[in-house]
Amino acid sequence: MEQLGFDGMPRRLYPCTPTRLAAWLDCPRRYRMTYLDRPPPPKGPPWAHNSLGASVHNALAGWWRLPRRERTVAAAGDLLDTGWISDGFADDAQSAAHRRECRRMVEDYVAGLDPAVEPLGVERTVATRTDLIAVSGRIDRLDARPAADGGPGDLVVVDYKTGRHVLTVDDARGSLALALYALAAERVMRRPCLRVELHHLPTGTVLAWGHTPESLARQLRRAEDIAGECAAADDRYLGDPMAAATFPPRPGPGCGWCDFRAQCPEGAAAARPRRPWDGLADLPDTGPSLAATA
Ligand code: SF4
């Protein structure tokens, strides 16, 4: 049956990523400034915690791309060192302290991996579609874990986390992004993919959730509902980019971390500005450099 949009018209296929859908849910104004305003409004400076996260992700992806015999613990640390991104740190000393900590973190993580077990994908882009949405995204790692009987087993979506926020299993269970990745991986690989895992490197914990086909279908319907709101808002924006009511701000404490806080009076009033390095975890060995930045 033809799906109808908000105005009774057939709804077009909406191309999206989980990040775009999450941006809409989080704050429609931020969504507009990120995805619709052209030229895009100026962003604030880069965040050190984003640099740290990208550095760790790049090192782990690079490690899996090495020939198997070169996948040593030290090689992971070396990749972290050589690819370190220092944008957003207060100074060289703070950057170096976190680089050392991340080297330790990455080495500890790969020490628990079997370099001979090849993932099915590393930073692999997957995509799927329904009658309403075409969703795509990049999976940190896609594993194929052997079944207990030695069979090929199911696929597992692995997502690396580097933030200081402590995660729970509910974060894996409720993640729309992980569910969509699982559905897309299943479609691309033509194998069941029900298990999703968050690998929290700072604590060395794995938060895993086993979906059912029904729970994945629920998440897909949720994505379609959000996409329907986005598509209607996009259409209204094309008709009138100044239709502010379509993209209301959603001010709150998180506005301190928003790239567009300087362009948003409501957000600026709601939260104090954050320094680019405020999202970093405190380290015991950062010494006088951090004291100087307090
Ligand atoms: S500062 Fe807050 S309210 Fe304003 S766009 Fe950013 S998240 Fe939305």
Q: For residue range 172-195, what is the model confidence (pLDDT) as tens digits? A: 999 999 999 999 999 999 999 999
Q: Which domain holds residue 63?
A: 48-111
Q: How far is it, in rounded angstroms, from Cα 79 to Cα 57?
A: 10
Residue 205 lies in a domain: no
Structural domains counted in the chain: 1
Residue 96 lies in a domain: yes
Whether the per-residue pLDDT at 230 is higher than 80: the answer is yes
> Sign of the C-alpha dihedral, residues 67, 71, 72, 75?
positive
Specify whether the CB–CB gap between 18 and 137 falls below 8 A.
Answer: yes
Distance from Cα 31 to the centre of ligand 1, integer Å = 9
Residue 98 lies in a domain: yes
Residue 41 lies in a domain: no
> What pTM does this model have?
0.92
pLDDT tens digits for range 39-84: 999 999 999 999 999 999 999 999 999 999 999 999 999 999 999 9
Residue 275 lies in a domain: no
Q: How confident is the model at residue 7 (pLDDT cuts 50, 70, 90)?
A: low
* From 25, 30, 43, 246, mutation site for ligand 1 pocket: most ligand atoms within 8 A of C-beta: 30
The beta strands (E) that lie in the chain are given as 14-16, 121-129, 133-144, 155-161, 193-200, 205-210
With a 6 Å cutoff on the Cβ, whether 220 touches ligand 1 is no
Residue 59 lies in a domain: yes
Residue 277 lies in a domain: no
Closest approach atom of ligand 1 to CA 255 = 2
Question: Which residues sit opposite 42 in a β-bridge?
Answer: none
With a 6 Å cutoff on the Cβ, whether 201 touches ligand 1 is no
Whether the per-residue pLDDT at 287 is higher than 50: the answer is no
Residue 12 lies in a domain: no
With a 6 Å cutoff on the Cβ, whether 258 touches ligand 1 is yes
Distance of CA 119 to the CA centre of its chain: 19
Distance from Cα 244 to the centre of ligand 1, integer Å = 13
Strands 133-144 and 121-129, bridge-based pairing: antiparallel
